[in-house]
Amino acid sequence: MTDETAAPDGDRLRRLIGGEDMAWLVDRARRRIARDAPLTGTVTLTAPTQEQRRALAVLLGRRPATGASLTVNLRDVDELLRATGHGGLAAAITALTGPVDSLSDRRLRTETAWRDAYRPLEDAVADRPELASWRSWLDTTGLPRRLAPDPADAAVLLAGLAAVLSRLPSPSIPLGRLAAETCGDAHALDDGRPLATLALSAVRALAGRPFTTEPAAESRRATWASVGVHLDELSSTVLTLGLTPDPATPLGAVLSAHNTAGEPACLTLRQLRRHPAPIPVARVHLCENPVVIAAAADDLGPACPPLICIGGRPSAAVWRLLTLLGDGGATFLYHGDFDWGGVAIASSLHTRVGFIPWRYTAADYLAAPSGGPLTGRPLPTPWSPPLTTAMTSRATRVEEELLLDTLLTDLRTFDPGISTG
In a domain, 419, yes or no: no
Do both 395 and 268 map to the same domain? yes
Do both 66 and 157 map to the same domain? no
Q: Is the pLDDT at 391 greater than 70, yes or no?
A: yes
Do both 245 and 332 map to the same domain? yes
Contact 74, 33 (CB under 8 A): no
Mean pLDDT, residues 357-378:
94
Number of domain units in the chain:
3
* Count of CB atoms situated within 10 Å of the CB of 381: 23
d(CA 191, CA 195): 9
3 state DSSP class of 378 = coil
| pLDDT for the residue 1 | 42
Contact 225, 236 (CB under 8 A): yes
- The model scores a pTM over 0.85: no
Do both 267 and 398 map to the same domain? yes
Domain boundary among 195, 230, 265: 230
Domain boundary among 230, 263, 294: 230
Do both 118 and 262 map to the same domain? no
pLDDT tens, 94-147? 889 888 887 888 888 889 999 999 999 999 999 999 999 999 999 999 999 999
| pLDDT for the residue 167 | 95
| pLDDT for the residue 173 | 87
How is 104-124 classified by DSSP, letter by letter? Answer: HHHHHHHHHHHHHHHHHHHHH
Do both 222 and 139 map to the same domain? yes
Q: How far is CA 90 from CA 14, 37, 72, in A?
A: 14, 11, 16
d(CA 96, CA 346): 72
In 21-150, alpha helices (H): 23-34, 50-60, 74-83, 89-97, 103-125, 132-141, 143-147
Range of the domain at 122: 104-230
Domain boundary among 230, 261, 291: 230
Q: Of 140, 146, 138, nearest to 118 (Cα)?
A: 138
| pLDDT for the residue 4 | 43
How is 191-260 classified by DSSP, letter by letter? Answer: TTSHHHHHHHHHHHHHTT--SS---SHHHHHHHHHTTTEES-SSS-EEEEES----TTSHHHHHHHHHHH
Mean pLDDT, residues 202-221:
74
d(CA 64, CA 70): 10
Task: Characterise 380 by phi-psi region: left (phi > 0), alpha (psi -120 to 50), beta (else).
Answer: beta
In a domain, 54, yes or no: yes
Q: How far is CA 106 from CA 96, 119, 195, 343, 413, in A?
A: 21, 20, 27, 51, 75
